[in-house]
Amino acid sequence: MTVDSKEIDKFLVELLQNVGKSLRDDALKKKSVDTKKNRNDLVTNFDKKTERYINSELKRVFPEATIVSEEGYGDLVTDMSGLVFFVDPIDGTMNFVKRGDDFASMIGAYIDGEPLIGAIIDVMGNNIYHGGKEIGLFINDEKIDIPRNLPLVEGLVDVSAPMALANKFNVQDVIKKSSGFRVYGSAGIIFGHLLTGKEVMYMSYLAPWDLAAGRVLCEAAGMSVVSIDDAPINMLKSQVVIVGTQKVVSEALTTVKTR
């Protein structure tokens, strides 16, 4: 299948501009909130509405594509052939519900398993991070300067709170070697920080829709995206991932303990 990555990028940016406009209104409205796997795993009527909207637009313009998405309106995708979109309609639902900021919406496009285009909107900041290896990286219309390959000792790291608190994988030793530790509660917001050099590493257990767009963008920025056991990333399963500058990821891999 041949695809025009510029055209896909432009479409995803326009789509996320519309999503951003609606979600900034929705953030002020009363939400209907349900729980999923546990009391902190939230889903709102707006997560579902946004996913239905994004998926129907993707299907309208790319009818041959398949969609992996969080809230159940996607396809059952069992292989990565052809054009595959990954959709996280609201990333950071807890922040959306409790704080009304620091949440994102993300779409990643892959072609025959290869990262193609990533697009992430920081909804309340109204900034869209987008692009890919072929077309370069942008915040809105501006080119992103590729962040420096800093070592752990020179940068802030973000680790999911449960992982850090339980010292899973010996991650506290990674944190201690860094400049400091931050927890933002939205993978999409953190990918924005990595792309603009504000943080040098993110470690979390991520589902395919949490990782897809950020992986495209961070790899295009020369960063490393690895699973904690250093196995190749499998985009059709959830896994613990480390994303960051090449120096930081290799230091982190020598510090974490997987058994």
Binding residues for ligand IPD, per CB under 6 A? 88, 91-93, 160, 185-187, 204-206, 210
Nearest residue to the partner Ca ion, using Cβ:
91
What lies within 8 Å, CB to CB, of 258 at 6+ separation is 169, 228, 229
Angstrom distance (rounded) from CA 15 to CA 194? 23
Residue 239 interacting partner from ligand IPD, Ca ion, none (CB closer than 5 to 8 Å by kind): none
Q: How many residues does the chain have?
A: 259
The site string for Ca ion over 41-80 (x = CB under 5 A, - otherwise) reads -----------------------------x----------
Closest distance to Ca ion from the beta carbon of 91 (Å): 4
Q: At what angle do helices 208-220 and 187-195 cross, to 10 degrees?
A: 0
66 or 95: CB nearest ligand IPD: 95
88 or 251: CB nearest ligand IPD: 88
Structure tokens at 17: 């501009």
Q: Quick check: 210 binds Ca ion (CB under 5 A)?
A: yes
Closest distance to ligand IPD from the beta carbon of 26 (Å): 15
The site string for Ca ion over 73-112 (x = CB under 5 A, - otherwise) reads ---------------x-xx---------------------
Closest distance to ligand IPD from the beta carbon of 61 (Å): 24
Helix (H, G, I), strand (E, B) or coil at 188: helix
* DSSP H or E stretch at residue 182: strand 180-182
Angstrom distance (rounded) from CA 199 to CA 184? 11
Beta carbons within 10 angstroms of residue 77's beta carbon: 18
Closest distance to ligand IPD from the beta carbon of 27 (Å): 14
Among the listed ranges 97-105, 107-115, 116-124, 202-210, the one in contact with Ca ion (CB under 5 A) is 202-210
29 or 143: CB nearest Ca ion: 29
Closest distance to ligand IPD from the beta carbon of 93 (Å): 4
Angstrom distance (rounded) from CA 194 to CA 197? 5
Q: What is the footprint of Ca ion within residues 223-242 (CB under 5 A)?
A: none
Eight-class DSSP state of 243: E
C-alpha separations of 20 from 26, 127, 155, 208 in Å: 10, 9, 30, 22
Q: Name which of 255, 258, 217 is nearest 243 in CA terms.
A: 217
Closest distance to ligand IPD from the beta carbon of 38 (Å): 12
